[in-house]
Copies of this chain bind each other. A is one copy, B any other.
Amino acid sequence: MAERKRPSIREVALMADVSVATVSNVLGGRKMVTPTLAARVNEAVKALGYQADRAASQLRSGRARVIAVLVPSLDNPFFTSIIAGIEQAVQSEGYDIIVASSNNDGETERKRLSALLSWRPAGVMILPVDDRFAALEMLEASESPFVVVDRLPLRLRADTVAVDNQHAAILACNHLVALGHRDVLVVASTLKLANIRARISGIRRAFRQANLPEPKIVEAGLSLETASSQLAGWLATNERPTGIIALTNFTTIGVIASLNQLGLRIPDDVSLVGFDDYVWMQAATPTITAIRQPVEQLGAQAWACLRERIEDGRTELRTLRLHCTLQVRGSTARVGKSHRPITVNNS
């Protein structure tokens, strides 16, 4: 009773007593078929549990129904939320996604992209590991449509979908400035990434326009540990700011951990604006004011963009910038009486 091999289109044709072409036409719905025959085919399909082999279908038709997605890491909820948005968007149009991680490494990115391209995907979505975007050449050579998401490469020879980082930074600044903060510290992950630099440049501009001194910048690395220790080091040797802007989700956590260790209270001693909005921020003590990136939109728009190339044959370059929003919560407060003017004592 077992040992039943997976049925092919021929066996369906045989059972329905039609040609394979007819079966294909019924299933693909691209040619009209007599209702009688169509019914017979559908019956046979159901009886056999037939499903077309996508590999074969893609091979013959040349039309792939798979999108390759390459992200720097699958352990960062920011990236996986974008993937969630992409999957949600493409799935409704019959596409599937092949996902790979470049592990924040340029060489791995190259290898994984190469593997992805061997599937001849209908399109590629990539979040590059860095600005240099070494993958560009490979993508151009592959001649498959692609869109760069979130991280912007130096050479803008591609469709890009990202947030407006300058605008996001300005939101954070205006909020702090409105609360009377003049002395602000910016905790960046790494200046090697263009969107981090864009956030910083937005902050600089906002403070210039408010006629305030430019904020100081700390480069704090990509992990919680480095972020936490770098900030502690900085605070030990500099005058304490009244407000801090953290430029990524990991630096946000690092800042909180560091301030806790130093016994500094948020927002009484220091106000904090975090980056990326996560559920835990609503449970933190205090709740964390944060810049919210529209992650689902990022994924959905990336697909909209890619889709235009795949299905509508668009060829002009497209550049999409989505706006972040500010989630005001408990970690930011007016500069005032409760602020202790003493600096951290570093023995």
Contact = CB atoms under 8 A, between A and B. Distances in A.
Nearest to A75: B84
B87 A81 contact: no
Nearest to A254: B283
Interface residues of A, number: 56
Contact of A282 (B66, B75, B94, B253): B253
A342 interface: no
Contact of A260 (B87, B112, B141, B283): B283
Nearest to A51: B118
A269 to B, nearest CB: 13
B73 A84 contact: yes
A280 B224 CA distance: 9
A143 B51 CA distance: 13
Contacts of A141: 49
A296 to B, nearest CB: 9
Nearest to A99: B99
Copies in the complex: 2
Interface stretch (A16-24, A52-60, A308-316): A52-60
Interface string A58-86: 11000010100000011101001101100
A24 to B, nearest CB: 15
Contact of A100 (B87, B103, B282): B87
A101 B119 contact: no
Interface string A31-66: 000000000000000000101111110110000101
B285 A260 contact: yes
A284 interface: yes
Contact of A96 (B51, B84, B87, B116): B116
Given A250-B279, A256-B284, 4 more contacts: A74-B80, A80-B83, A88-B103, A253-B282
Interface of A: 6, 49, 51-56, 58-59, 64, 66, 73-75, 77, 80-81, 83-84, 87-88, 91, 94, 96-101, 103, 112, 114-120, 141-143, 224, 250, 253-254, 256-257, 260, 278-280, 282-285
